Amino acid sequence: MIIARTIAELKEAKSALQGTIGFVPTMGALHKGHLSLIQQAKAENDHLIVSIFVNPTQFLEGEDLDAYPRREEADRKICELAKADILFMPTVDQMYEHDELSIGAPAIRGYILEGQKRPGHFDGMLQIVMKLLNLTGADNAYFGKKDAQQLALIMQMVTNYFMDVKIIPCEIVRDEKGLALSSRNAYMSEEEKVRALCLSRSLKRATKLIMGGKLDTVSIKEEMLEVLKEADEVEYVAIVDRAFRPLEKVELGNTMILVAAWVGKPRLIDNIWI
């Protein structure tokens, strides 16, 4: 595995590759959620590139940019074991110059839910994903459904800018109790990790209600909020269609239920696609 820290090194390493490139962009502190994307990308392509870059432009003032977990040595081993061809770990200076051109997330879908709570976050996210997709020349790029809105916006960017890459959505990986894996879970105490299970439990509750025939989204949300009382603060519970339009009634095969809540230090998100 070649470790590329500069764009020149990435280009040189890439020039030795022939065949399809699968790409997994991450912010590091790799866990089994990342690993499932990495393994899928490895299985479906001739070559695998993984990137680790904690992108400053997607963090808002006061967010955890400096505190974001960094575990370079462990991450490198994981990528090596997964037989990545290239691990791209650039510095901020390699990726950005002063007075950059920016990409604006769409006015509606980029500013509801996650975008409402974190205005500007998706601009920075799209900016770095565009750069990384262009740099790696990936044929297939893998993203988790855990960040459902991020995934939808990346797909829209690829369509709107006629980018020649296929975006592959990957299933959410959870621990044995149901907690969606996240690098930020490391911020929680054991007691908080137990309370954090209320996010996935609220989604299970919603699924059960829907399976029982309840489709009215207002009452489903009410029941979810009951389960979510264990969280310190609930930011949103949303029931939307695949295009992120709010639904009054669940549409089977076209619905996503999304939740964001604080438990201890981290702000957690989870969702289920129905």
Q: Interface residues with ligand AMP (CB under 6 A)?
A: 26-27, 33-34, 36-37, 143-144, 146-147, 170, 172-173, 180-183
Q: How far is the CB of 54 from ligand AMP (least distance, A)?
A: 9
Checking DSSP bridges between strand 86-88 and strand 47-52, what pairing results, if any? parallel
CB 256 within 8 A of CB 241: yes
Q: Output 82 or 250, the one with its CB closest to ligand AMP.
A: 82
Cβ-proximal residue to ligand AMP, closest one: 144
Q: Output 53 or 224, the one with its CB closest to ligand AMP.
A: 53
98 is catalytic: no
Q: Output 27 or 95, the one with its CB closest to ligand AMP.
A: 27
Q: How far is the CB of 126 from ligand AMP (least distance, A)?
A: 13
Q: How far is the CB of 274 from ligand AMP (least distance, A)?
A: 18
Q: How far is the CB of 33 from ligand AMP (least distance, A)?
A: 3
From the candidates 34, 47, 98, 121, which is the catalytic residue?
A: 34
Q: Output 58 or 217, the one with its CB closest to ligand AMP.
A: 58
How far, rounded to the nearest angstrom, does the alpha carbon of residue 8 sit from its chain's CA centroid?
A: 27
Catalytic residues, by residue number, are: 34
